[in-house]
Amino acid sequence: MKSRQLIVSIVALASLLLASYSCASERKAERFITKNGMTILLLERDSLPFITVNVTIRAGSVFEAAEKAGLASITADLLTEGTQSRSASQISEEIDFIGGSLSSSGGIDYSSASLKVLTKDSDKGFNLLADILRRPSFSDMEIERSMSQIKAGIISKEDDPSTVATEAFNKALFGDHPYARPAEGTLESLENIGREDIINFHKKLYRPNNVIMAVVGDIDKRSLKKLLKKHFGSWEKRALPLPEPVMAEQIKGMKVELIDKKISQANVQLGHIGIRRENPDFYATYVMNYILGGGGFVSRLMTEIRDNRGLVYSVYSYFNPLKDPGPFKIGLQTKNESAREAIDESLSQMKNMAKNGVTEEELRSAKDYLIGSFPLRFTTNAKIASYLSYMEIYNLGLDYLDKFPKIIEALTVNDINRAAKKYLHPENYLLVVVGDKEEIGKL
């Protein structure tokens, strides 16, 4: 009953936000491509005098060699650490002086940079953004400093059972596919990366025709085009070497990996390869997983394993659909002694979903929440810019914000049940457990 009341409250709040968002977004997002190939998405919102820019570059870790894992991440991290005309401290001082923010980071499929400035400082902001994207210096001093920070982070991860489990899960699940590797690399792979590798990676992939730029805020199309021409117009496009990685194969049967650590809680991750985002069944799978384990306290996994059996504080499931099929995973933490019971019940819920599907009541409740909470994703310009980039990456169309609720509402029980049978594999899965082997016993 409390869970139902929580859903009603969230939907009511989201409805208020939706009304606010609808008023703010009477202007529709526009899309255009510059002469040098940059894909630009613009949504004018003049309620506040600032703009947010989200730049997405198809230059993630999938485009690095396995022996140089971490190359994409360190390249992105170093963008704000100095250019040919500015030191790292100068970049920081200049953006701070105008009260803005500028950052960059690397990811799996993509790397990104973001800018937030007052509209009156947009010229200065775009100057800084163009400088870090086009002319990073990659100085030996900054590379060494960044490498040291990354290595310290890698070493510290060894003390986090959840991270140990996640990295072991990805490695065993994806094999030779780049998704198997941590984006920041390993201590061994970082030793193989030199300054020339970073320069060449940037030169090869950081090109205007490999960029999506989403701009949200108090700026019109004409003003934006002037800024783009001034600061990015001379950026030369180039043919892009974007090799397609070898697809990972599904797990056959049961594969178990137990990592022995003398800790009181077992960290469990169970799953298999899922779907890619462009899969037409994404929406049915999304709703199905919400009912199974993505819906927090109202999910089946949480109800049975936490509420009814008291085995865990939290348990979840998710599909992570990427450019290539990402993982499907059930994750939980429990006492070492109860790990086997929690695993068995997780598999039981997975089997029941695949065999028997969902009820009309479960589907109605899931729709109410997913449709009602959808506007919560767009409460800031930064969130909107990020989502516009997401829509472009996966070819969802500029009308996606209008389409999404309609697509979810149109799904039937048969759609959800078909997806459950097709994309859940309770007989073929990978199980990774980090915990005290002696207390856990046989898996």
Q: What percent of the chain has pLDDT over 70?
A: 94
Question: Which of 17-26, 151-160, 388-397 bottoms out in mean pLDDT, i.e. has the lowest?
Answer: 17-26
Sign of CA dihedral 433, 436, 438, 440: negative
Q: Is the pLDDT of residue 287 over 80?
A: yes
Our CA dihedral for 324, 382, 81, 87, rounded to 10 degrees, sits at 150
CA 315 to CA 312: how far, in whole Å? 7
Q: Tens of pLDDT along 92-106?
A: 999 999 999 999 999
Q: Tens of pLDDT along 231-275?
A: 999 999 999 987 777 788 999 999 999 999 999 999 999 999 999
Q: Which domains does the chain have, with CATH numbers?
A: 27-232 (3.30.830.10), 254-368+412-440 (3.30.830.10)
The neighbour count for residue 200, using CB atoms within 10 Å, is 13
Pairing between strand 429-435 and 254-260?
Answer: parallel
Average pLDDT of the chain to the nearest whole number: 94
Question: Which of 8-22, 373-387, 425-439 bottoms out in mean pLDDT, i.e. has the lowest?
Answer: 8-22
pLDDT for the residue numbered 10: 47
- 171's CB contacts (< 8 A; 6+ apart) are 180, 181
pLDDT for the residue numbered 1: 47
Average pLDDT over residues 264-288: 97
Q: Tens of pLDDT along 297-346?
A: 999 999 999 999 999 999 999 999 999 999 999 999 999 999 999 999 99
pLDDT for the residue numbered 26: 57
Q: What percent of the chain has pLDDT over 90?
A: 91
* The model's pTM: 0.91
CA 94 to CA 72: how far, in whole Å? 26
